Amino acid sequence: MIRHALTLTSLVLSSGITLGQGATLTQDQRTTLATVHAKVTAFRDKVQPRLSGTIRSTVVAPAQAGGGTTETVVQSHGRVLYRRSPYELSSDTLVLGVNERYAFAAKQKAEGQPWLLLKVSLTGDVPLSPVFDQPTRVAVAGLVAGQFAIAGRTVEELLDASKFVATDVTQPAVDRLRLAFRPRQTSRPARDEPAVRDGWVEIDPAFGHVVRGEVRREFTDAKQVTTVVNRFAASGEPPLLAEQTVTVSVGESNQKQPQTELRTLYDLSVNRKVGDDEFRLTALGLPEPVGVEWAKPTPTYVWLLLAAAVAAASAVLIARLRR
């Protein structure tokens, strides 16, 4: 689970946070932001480990671009299965699995073809190979990344005083909190990485999730504007992300020329019922690793015989008590 070194609570309750040129947060704003942080933390700690779902991303514009990806993450009692298709520049489907005995990576050229085992590692190995650990952590985090971030920047990060300055905080509606921000330093952070110029984000203070926002970046010879709009499921509490539209444009916000539009559909659920076999190689038609044997479940007929025996014993006991 991803953790942030600097919590929002410590930021908003400290006297060092300023807005713009010396304007300070009001007590109501501090309380609201602290509540938002508590909501996000509770979601990450209690809901995210029990979350499963499918994420389908499609390039809407330009129309000729086409293509898209489908990612599925299944979690159950600390076990994770991640599936992505297509993978990188090929048409392959990649699967990463982590269960209580081992981790594995496999790929499939096309649906219906046999799976090829790429790597397997016993989970008793310390540390677990980064081949499995990092990608599965990223995949799990990806289920909620869009829900609590704007263009890759979490609300906590935007309020990190060492990186960003909050230039304004307003509440345009009861269910909206708007934060405007800019970077503390304008120098380019790394080669080939555009520097953030400024932006804004609107969050729902009741749940802490991002409703919409905009981030402006600067390249050497151009300016990029990324706009994000989220739609959440109508039922369930806390609400889960259902759709995200990301538009990347060139120019200032009042003179946008859309270049790319990416639409992502989320089908998320909590506590999905999953069989144990789904996290094992046998689910792909591959043999289990050498030395790994699973306890066989008790056959159904044994439970039926046991139930019949209990019913018969109960009947005999009741008959004796009636005499």
Q: Which of 92, 119, 285 is nearest to 84 (CA)?
A: 92
Tens digits of per-residue pLDDT, 91-140? 899 999 989 889 999 999 988 899 999 989 887 665 556 667 777 788 88
Give the mean pLDDT of the chain: 78
The alpha carbon torsion through 243, 248, 252, 255 (nearest 10 deg) reads -80
Residue 8 has pLDDT above 70, yes or no: no
- Mean pLDDT, residues 265-281 taken together: 91
- The SS3 call for residue 292 is coil
- Mean pLDDT, residues 238-264 taken together: 81
Residue 294 has pLDDT above 60, yes or no: yes
Name which residue leads in pLDDT, 30 or 255: 30
Enumerate residues 6+ apart whose C-beta is below 8 A from 175.
204, 205, 206
The CA–CA distances, whole Å, from 152 to 74, 155, 156, 193, 213 equal: 23, 10, 12, 13, 12
Q: Which of 60, 58, 69 is nearest to 258 (CA)?
A: 60
Residue ranges of the domains in the chain? 1-162+229-296
- Mean pLDDT, residues 143-152 taken together: 85
Q: What pLDDT score does 82 carry? A: 92
Q: What is the DSSP letter of 137?
A: H
- The SS3 call for residue 245 is strand
Least confident of 13-17, 90-94, 124-128, 305-309: 13-17
Residue 67 has pLDDT above 80, yes or no: no
Q: Compute CA 321 distance to the chain's CA centroid, rounded to the nearest angstrom.
A: 60
- Mean pLDDT, residues 224-229 taken together: 91
Name which residue leads in pLDDT, 166 or 105: 105
The alpha carbon torsion through 103, 281, 296, 128 (nearest 10 deg) reads 0
| Spatial separation of the C-alpha atoms in residues 32 and 205, rounded to whole Å | 7
| Spatial separation of the C-alpha atoms in residues 241 and 231, rounded to whole Å | 6
- Mean pLDDT, residues 181-201 taken together: 73
- Mean pLDDT, residues 174-184 taken together: 86
- The SS3 call for residue 105 is strand
